Amino acid sequence: MKTPLFFYLTELLFPRLCVVCGDKLIEQEQLICLHCLHHIPRTNFHRNPDNPVAQLFYGRVQIEFATAFYAFSKGSPYQKLLHNLKYKGMKELGEEVGKQFGIDLLQSPEFSSVDLICPVPLHPQKEKKRGYNQSWWIASGIAKQMNKELLIALENNNTVSVDFATKIGHIRIMKCTRNLDEIPEGDHQGINTVKLNGPDICCVYDWLVADWRAFRWDSVLNWKIVK
């Protein structure tokens, strides 16, 4: 397939540059050049179950495995990846980084066997201000590369039915949303009063009880879009 002339004209006037080194990207490269991708300071923690990230959770919460894609170093050119993703609106960069992470995770029997990829929820008010949740884009890239399901409904402001298990083993079904535009205005303040808010907890508006509730991401058994 021949590359359209329009592409070359656009590249001439508005060349695409690598977000890490600033060099011009070739046709097959996306956001990050191949040289910078090859030299990302990967941790390779996915190869070692007893890695420093996993140790952070010891004695705090029960997990199976934990890892990190690359080591952050202040002043490193790769600091631009996070800066552009979080503060410059380059949400697609998160998906590209997620795809590279997914390549590594597929090499691990522990991570390659997961069924579902869940992005860490962002406070709806902060997400509305920023315009997106960077964790969703990273998770999207991981899911695409690993060919896994992505629990996107709540992060995508839809109403869903979530089946989850309580601490004592009871199964609960919740029809819920995180879309402030759909929630009665008088109930918006509930999002700040749920005490169980945290990176492993998802706060949602439960339509059945017309109030705010929360569930743990790792308690989800099933979900489906209902609206």
E strands, the chain, in order: 116-117, 149-150, 160-165, 171-177, 201-206, 211-216, 220-225
The string of DSSP letters for 195-218 reads TT-BTTEEEEEETTTTEEEEEEGG
For residue 127, what pLDDT band results from cuts at 50, 70 and 90?
confident
**Residue % of the chain over a pLDDT of 70:** 84
pLDDT at 49 over 80: yes
pLDDT tens track for 156-192: 556 778 887 877 778 888 888 877 777 887 777 665 5
Instruction: Determine which of 9-18, 99-108, 154-163 has the lowest per-residue pLDDT on average.
Output: 154-163
Mean pLDDT rounded to a whole number for the chain:
82
Q: What is the pTM of this model?
A: 0.67
What number is the average pLDDT over the span 193-208?
A: 68
For residue 196, what pLDDT band results from cuts at 50, 70 and 90?
low
